[in-house]
Structure 1
Amino acid sequence: MSAFGKTRTAAENNLLKKLRDRAKTSKAGQLTAMHRVRQAIELWEGRFEELVTDGKRSPTSLETYRRAIKNHLLPALGEVRIGEASTPHVDRVISEIKKRAGAPTARTCRSIISGVMGLAVRYGAISIDPVREVDRIEHDAKKLSRALSGDEVQLLRKQLATDERAVDADLPDLVTFMLSTGVRIGEALAVLWSQIDLETGKVKITHTIVRIKGEGLLRKVTKSKAGQRELGLPNWTLAALRVRYAAGIRLDEPIFSDALGGFRDPSNVRRSLRDALSPVGSTARRDLGLSLRAARRETGMSRKQVADTLNWPQNKIALIEAGRLKIDRALAITLLSAYNLHPDAMEPLLILVDKATEPAAADALAWITSHAFRKTTATVLDNDGQTARQIADHLGHARVSMTQDTYLDRRFCDSSSPTRSSEAWESARRRRSGWRNERASCGREHR
């Protein structure tokens, strides 16, 4: 070990202090202050994997953490000794991750390293968690919840029904099912025919579909007990399901299956939905994205290199090249300047930018994601007069605050809301009827 000081005596004192700390923190055994942060991360990851095996944590959370560890934490902190991972050092690393990858990724990394250092404290490797005093990660104000209006629902269903790609991806019926139930996309893909009663109009939500690296698609129980619920279906959804139902169909097959009758990948379905609704449907924007990608590749630069040069999140480059992020001339010039293109080579690309900024039919639906369907269902139920607890139960939320803060669109809080259709009323009545029957049953059992 080594230590430094302004004088010989100060250096000796600092060295003695390090030796005392080393002796004190090495008695716990498995981790000491001299171990690398990488070793503590491996130990923490193994403990988290055990929780996943026991069903106490989601495997998708483990996959998210592993990506953050591989891409951000190990390169920045992996070889640092646990005893040298000070608060200023960790704070600087988290700040760099925020600049490079964005606030959500930085929050995930902060959560991971906090868990790792907390584990080190419990093992006696260090006495104080250095992450405790790391500065909070500030980010832009959360966007207000937005639900689909009645006109937007009609436009959406018409767009999907007439889009050849959407029909090939089996999106019309899937979106209808999600709009009427408010279930998550993984939950919708996990529903089997045996879980739907076409006579009573009820569906049981018990599982979800996730993709685990090295294991493929898995049908696992919902993340919490609140996710296991029974929902009513309106007639317009039942009609669509009856059309899909055929004699001889296997009850153990998913309702929304792939071409071979197996489970579909939620990520692929989201991609199909984006292709059907996002501005990538504009030919000019798609051509612009491909041209910008070709220009970047000609320079030999990776997306990461461009992002580092411009101090942008790497995902921003991907969205631009996919045609999913509208850009103007100023933004395009900034991007092309990083490629050191000659002005003559830039002009054709800028002409494409002008064409891509023209309004496209897909713009009206470009904001819609699969989560917007859940917010629409929540807003309809709220307009129907149901309590926040009832809406949370319908969506499968354990916390009512999550429902109130994130899923209710306050623009449609009056009785004239465009989302209040006859189908919505019918679905709400079915839901209320189920609650009344359940309460009556509980009352009879109590008596």
Structure 2
Amino acid sequence: MRRLGLGEFGEVRYTVRYGRPVAMVNYRDFNGVRHRLQASGRTKAEARRAVVRAVENTIASGSDGEFSSTSTVEAGARAWLDDFAELVARGARSPSTLDLYRDAIERHLIPAIGGLRIGELTTARVDRFLRSILRSKGYATAKLTRTVLSGVCGYLSRQGALQFNPVRDAGRLEADRDRTPRALTPVEVRHWLALLDASEEAQRNDLPTLARFILATGLRIGEALAVRWSDIDFDHGLLNVQRTLLRLKGKGIVESAPKSKASIRVLVLPGWCLTMLKTRRQQLGAFDGPIFPDAKGGYRDKSNVGAAFRRARTGTPFEWVKPHTYRKTVATILDNQGASARMIADQLGHARVSMTQDVYMGRRAVHHSVAAALESANPDVSRPQVAGGDADPK
């Protein structure tokens, strides 16, 4: 007779008591202990269904993992965070991602469904929860919450507390069609930079130079603020992108590895940008430290920089312009100049060439043709207008 494995039950046997059929079965729990359960019914089939259901519930509530179907979703979510924190400690995940996920759990997941038993976490309940977040908080928050909940459910499934991940079968979250990223046209670039140049507050916050630097490189704002003078090879016109900035709870602003391996890259700087940086270094008298320092010479908080950009665009035709708009603008410039999708991905530090291609890029690439394309996009050089081309914003 084959020995029962952990969590397995054997052949169902029957007897009759008080005129009703009784089904009996042996099962072995996750501690290796054999047990016998029995259940009665009006028929043998009904008794069998009852005893099998009793065995499954008993095994689920006493699984070899830390959690069972009767544990709370909150307990599972917090355990998943601890598991994720171990990945962060090993350098496999970003600490800023941990802060982001923890915030989503504390603000959205626990208040709404944290009190549910894990066994009550059905696909229907998950779908209703995510759609309520979509309606009340918007697409970005709902998408983040779905990612977190899927991670939690996947963890609980591996612990034996869930038979499957209910988030996988929940309905898709659709963003509004008008959320498509918008790029600046060349004329809009010149008007926007002129607006920054004319603003005393923008000048105090270094926004005109920072905007030009991002337009020349396509860097993320955290990457741009993390660039140090030692990262620039002025002799060869190269920029070594090797870090970004994060704000972590309890630690403040810290250096971190870029978002992905593809984000560690070497870029060729357009001539006009290199000239701007040489002039800036002479004006600041700096040969070390960040090229966009705070008042004490340290790193600037990207949240404060983002707030300064928001104040600069408030009440202007450029209310829609965000720091990420510059990256979209760079991609558009390169696409219009005939750069390949791979070259654009290398410039921006994207891990994927496109949404339809799951191709990861880990090489450090230098493309002189990219710099030539950006050279032609010097925002401070006016060009003759072509009939039917861009019009000045009203």
TM-score of the aligned structures, taking structure 2 as reference length: 0.75
Q: Is the 8 A contact 2:69 2:118 kept in 1?
A: yes
Q: Is the 8 A contact 1:384 1:425 kept in 2?
A: no
What is the aligned-residue RMSD (CA, Å)? 2.8
C-alpha change, 1:13 and 1:259, in structure 2 (3 Å) is farther
Aligned pairs (5 A) from 1:156-167? 156-167=192-203
Specify the alignment match of 2:122 in structure 1: 86
Range with greater deviation from structure 2 (49-58 or 173-182)? 49-58
- Deviation at residue 34 of structure 1 after TM alignment: 1.6
Distance across 2 between alignment mates of 1:52 and 1:205 = 22
Q: Is the 8 A contact 2:334 2:374 kept in 1?
A: no
Specify the alignment match of 1:284 in structure 2: none
- Deviation at residue 58 of structure 1 after TM alignment: 2.2
Match 1:111 to one of 128, 142, 147 = 147
CA offset digits 1:382-431 (Å, max 9, x no partner): 22222110111111011110499xxxxxxxxxxxxxxx7853389xxxxx
In the alignment, structure 1 segments of 5+ residues that lack a partner are 1-7, 280-361, 405-419, 427-447
Does 2:250 correspond to 1:214? yes
Q: Runs (4+) of structure 1 moved beyond 6 Å?
A: 11-18
Does 2:375 correspond to 1:375? no
Q: Is the 8 A contact 2:126 2:170 kept in 1?
A: yes
Q: Is the 8 A contact 2:184 2:329 kept in 1?
A: yes
Distance across 2 between alignment mates of 1:142 and 1:57 = 32
- Deviation at residue 19 of structure 1 after TM alignment: 4.5
Match 2:319 to one of 363, 366, 389 = 366
Specify the alignment match of 2:382 in structure 1: none
Taking CA–CA contacts closer than 8 Å with sequence separation of 6 or more, which of the two structures ends up with the larger relative contact order?
1
C-alpha change, 1:382 and 1:403, in structure 2 (3 Å) is farther
Distance across 1 between alignment mates of 2:261 and 2:196 = 33
Specify the alignment match of 1:22 in structure 2: 57
Q: Secondary structure at the match of 1:131?
A: coil
CA offset digits 1:247-304 (Å, max 9, x no partner): 995544100000000000111111101110132xxxxxxxxxxxxxxxxxxxxxxxxx
Does 2:87 correspond to 1:134? no
For this pair of structures, how many residues does the alignment match? 321
- Deviation at residue 67 of structure 1 after TM alignment: 1.5
Distance across 2 between alignment mates of 1:132 and 1:164 = 51
C-alpha change, 1:65 and 1:191, in structure 2 (3 Å) is same
Aligned pairs (5 A) from 1:256-271? 256-271=292-307
Q: Is the 8 A contact 1:57 1:223 kept in 2?
A: no
* Higher percent of residues as strand: 2
Q: Secondary structure at the match of 1:121?
A: helix
C-alpha change, 1:399 and 1:421, in structure 2 (3 Å) is closer
- Deviation at residue 182 of structure 1 after TM alignment: 0.8
Larger of the two Rg values belongs to structure: 2
Match 1:121 to one of 157, 164, 167 = 157
- Deviation at residue 29 of structure 1 after TM alignment: 3.0
Specify the alignment match of 1:395 in structure 2: 348
Match 1:253 to one of 289, 294, 298 = 289
Distance across 1 between alignment mates of 2:356 and 2:308 = 27
In the alignment, structure 2 segments of 5+ residues that lack a partner are 1-40, 358-372, 380-394
CA offset digits 1:131-164 (Å, max 9, x no partner): 2322222332264443222211111111111101
Distance across 2 between alignment mates of 1:89 and 1:16 = 28
Q: Is the 8 A contact 2:281 2:287 kept in 1?
A: no
Specify the alignment match of 1:315 in structure 2: none
Distance across 2 between alignment mates of 1:93 and 1:403 = 29
Specify the alignment match of 1:190 in structure 2: 226
CA offset digits 1:147-204 (Å, max 9, x no partner): 2222111111111111011011111111111011111100000001101122222111
- Deviation at residue 27 of structure 1 after TM alignment: 2.6
Range with greater deviation from structure 2 (242-251 or 179-188)? 242-251
Distance across 1 between alignment mates of 2:278 and 2:67 = 60
CA offset digits 1:9-34 (Å, max 9, x no partner): 8x999986764333212232311112
Aligned pairs (5 A) from 1:178-327? 178-246=214-282, 249=285, 251-279=287-315
Q: Is the 8 A contact 1:193 1:253 kept in 2?
A: yes
Q: Is the 8 A contact 1:150 1:421 kept in 2?
A: no
Distance across 1 between alignment mates of 2:191 and 2:148 = 42
* Higher percent of residues as helix: 1
Tell me which amino acid in the other structure corresponds to 2:203. Answer: V
Distance across 2 between alignment mates of 1:112 and 1:166 = 37
Q: Secondary structure at the match of 2:354?
A: helix
Distance across 1 between alignment mates of 2:153 and 2:49 = 23
Q: Secondary structure at the match of 2:171?
A: coil
TM-score of the aligned structures, taking structure 1 as reference length: 0.66
Q: Is the 8 A contact 2:197 2:208 kept in 1?
A: yes
Specify the alignment match of 1:339 in structure 2: none
